Amino acid sequence: MGGGGGDGRSKELERLWAERDELDARIRLLESELETSSAAPASPAGEDAAAAGVGDGGCVGGGGACQARPGLAHADSLPADMIYRYSRHLLLPDFGVEGQRKLSRSSILVVGAGGLGSPVALYLAACGVGVLGIVDGDDVELNNLHRQIIHQEAYIGRSKVKSAADTCRAINSSIKVVEHHHTLKPNNALEVVRKYDIVVDATDNLPTRYMISDCCVLLNKPLISGAALGLEGQLTVYHHNGSPCYRCLFPNPPPVAACQRCSDSGVLGVVPGVIGCLQALEAIKVASDVGEPLSGRMLLFDALSARIRIVKIRGSSPACTICAENSVFTQEDFQKFDYETFTQSPMSDKTAPSLKLLPESARITCTEYKGLIDKGEPHVLLDVRPAHHFQIVSLSRSLNIPLSDLEEKLPMLETSMKETLDASAASDKQPSLYVVCRRGNDSQSAVQLLREKGFHSAKDIVGGLQSWAHDVDPDFPAY
Ligand SMILES: [Zn+2]
């Protein structure tokens, strides 16, 4: 826990919050016990009724809040509808009634209803967590559906949280599902996270990862953290049984270039599915106090070679600025902390960082470029995206030389420029050279390089193909 340091008041506040958490947990437990013990007189008793699903559903406030049947011998036994629904859990000697009971009294927050959050929420709902909270500020999009299996086409354009919560309720109406329709930010995270026993980080960006970890340390919550990108994934349980927090392992964020995102690098749909399932499993283990959670170890998954490795990771660091005993990081500090500046990357997947490397004279807009095409101006259009991007879609008559190969393949560009010059009626004038990429960042770097190498007419097409689709050709496929 981050202590208050010299600030006695913030320590006092943290102590009170911890006490409130403890009280909240006791209230939930007593409520569920009370409701369990107050038998419903009108309810039909007997195995057949339960087997037929008569007692199934309708109760909220946690699986433990279902009503018990009169005449059941054991005061500690689960309500009949729970026995039937979770019978395969109860048959497991290592899980059994006690595991199910603990799970049904626990509350778990899933941050992110995307590729990781989909299987996490689905399984936690199906398995009978008492309270399932889901946080996400985004809407469902068509390009989510290949991996975000909790959503359906009918929900495109609607809130992800609503979509996910509706699916969870359809699977298990006996649990409580809480919808948090916003992005988790430093100014609201403490208030939301405080209400839950366990947190699952199912987000996909670096600043949010730091923020959730710091928040969990301040509120003393175990954090089930997962990540999936491309064909690889990883997971671990932070801040639990002496395991480190995220900052213990990564006190400083990696350079911006090292941070990849699904929207840039791609991800095979089933990879976050695998990691999300494992996150759900770890969350259930922590909630029910069963087995050995993945604390102090990290699981690494390589889909291409079908290999799973588990590596030991260091314990919590005595030098950690957040979780070390002498930490002075308070809840107030947390609320003011600028995670985007700290990591140099945005919290939202939507806002790609846009560079501005060139003077205005070295750039033209998509609309201006369209005008030049219409006028028939002789030019070369160089597309500097990777070859596999170029295969997805490209503008007609563009030459593909990926940025990473540009320097060594300049002769190819020279040839193309010469051919254009020869084909044009206009004498000795160098043809124009325009450079495009997906979003208009790599194209600027390319223009810088080209101008250094003597291609003085090189100009960047602002905003790349994304702007082309937005401003010129709405039918141009976005990806
Ligand atoms: Zn730490």
How far is the C-alpha of 425 from the C-alpha of 51, rounded, in Å? 86
CA of 199 to the centre of ligand 1 (A): 16
Residue 365 and residue 339 share a domain? no
CA of 251 to the centre of ligand 1 (A): 8
437 belongs to the catalytic site: yes
Q: Is residue 316 part of a domain?
A: yes
CA of 215 to the centre of ligand 1 (A): 11
Using an 8 Å Cβ cutoff, are 53 and 172 in contact?
no
The sign of the torsion formed by the CA atoms of 206, 207, 210, 212 equals negative
Residue 233 and residue 269 share a domain? yes
Residue 111 and residue 15 share a domain? yes
CA of 258 to the centre of ligand 1 (A): 22
Q: Is residue 351 part of a domain?
A: no
- Which strands sit side by side in the sheet containing 297-302, from one edge to the other? 176-180, 131-135, 107-111, 198-201, 223-229, 232-238, 297-302, 307-312
pLDDT confidence of residue 32: 58
DSSP string, 348-375: SSS-------S-GGGEE-HHHHHHHHHH
CA of 210 to the centre of ligand 1 (A): 11
Catalytic residue among 127, 216, 262, 366: 262
pLDDT confidence of residue 426: 65
Neighbours of 61 (CB within 10 A): 16
Residue 411 and residue 325 share a domain? no
Q: What domain range is 461 assigned to?
A: 360-472
CA of 317 to the centre of ligand 1 (A): 6
- Report the CATH number at residue 226: 3.40.50.720
- Supply angle C-alpha 476, 478, 479, rounded to 5: 145
How far is the C-alpha of 455 from the C-alpha of 134, rounded, in Å? 53
Neighbours of 293 (CB within 10 A): 21
Residue 216 and residue 263 share a domain? yes
Residue 334 and residue 383 share a domain? no
Q: Which of 307, 283, 277, 308 is nearest to 295 (CA)?
A: 283
Residue 199 and residue 134 share a domain? yes
Q: Is residue 258 part of a domain?
A: yes
CA of 324 to the centre of ligand 1 (A): 6
Q: Which residues make up each annotated binding site for Zn(2+)?
A: 245, 248, 320, 323
Residue 179 and residue 110 share a domain? yes
Residue 147 and residue 240 share a domain? yes
Per-residue tokens: 463: 């905003």
Q: Is residue 212 part of a domain?
A: yes
Q: Is residue 83 part of a domain?
A: no
Domain final position from 315, 343, 371: 343
Domain final position from 309, 343, 377: 343
pLDDT along the chain (479 residues), means of 10: 58 74 67 56 35 33 42 67 95 96 97 98 98 97 96 97 98 97 97 98 95 98 96 97 95 77 84 98 98 97 97 93 96 97 83 78 95 93 96 95 96 94 76 94 95 95 95 92
Neighbours of 41 (CB within 10 A): 6
Q: Into how many domains does the chain fold?
A: 2
Residue 365 and residue 312 share a domain? no
Tell me the HSE value of 286 on the side-chain side, using a 13 A CA sphere.
28
Domain final position from 290, 308, 343: 343
pLDDT confidence of residue 385: 96
The β-bridge partners of 399 are: 382
Catalytic residue among 66, 168, 366, 437: 437
Q: Is residue 80 part of a domain?
A: no
- Report the CATH number at residue 439: 3.40.250.10
CA of 318 to the centre of ligand 1 (A): 8
Question: Would you give the distance in Å from CA 52 to the centre of its chain?
Answer: 39
Residue 339 and residue 371 share a domain? no
The β-bridge partners of 221 are: none
Q: Is residue 56 part of a domain?
A: no
CA of 347 to the centre of ligand 1 (A): 21
How far is the C-alpha of 116 from the C-alpha of 118, rounded, in Å? 6
Residue 308 and residue 395 share a domain? no
Question: Would you give the distance in Å from CA 387 to the centre of its chain?
Answer: 28
CA of 245 to the centre of ligand 1 (A): 4
CA of 226 to the centre of ligand 1 (A): 17
pLDDT confidence of residue 3: 43
Q: Which residues make up each annotated binding site?
A: 115, 136, 143-147, 160, 204-205, 245, 248, 320, 323
Question: How many angstroms separate the Cα of 439 from the Cα of each of 103, 268, 351, 471, 478?
Answer: 46, 22, 11, 13, 11
Q: Which residues make up each annotated binding site for ATP?
A: 115, 136, 143-147, 160, 204-205
Tell me the HSE value of 374 on the side-chain side, using a 13 A CA sphere.
7
403 membership: H or E segment, kind and range? none
CA of 322 to the centre of ligand 1 (A): 5
Q: Dihedrals φ, ψ of 224, to 5°? A: -95, 110
| CA gyration radius, the chain | 28
Task: Enumerate residues 6+ apart whose C-beta is below 8 A from 44.
Answer: 54
127 belongs to the catalytic site: no
pLDDT confidence of residue 56: 35
Q: Is residue 88 part of a domain?
A: no
Using an 8 Å Cβ cutoff, are 357 and 448 in contact?
yes
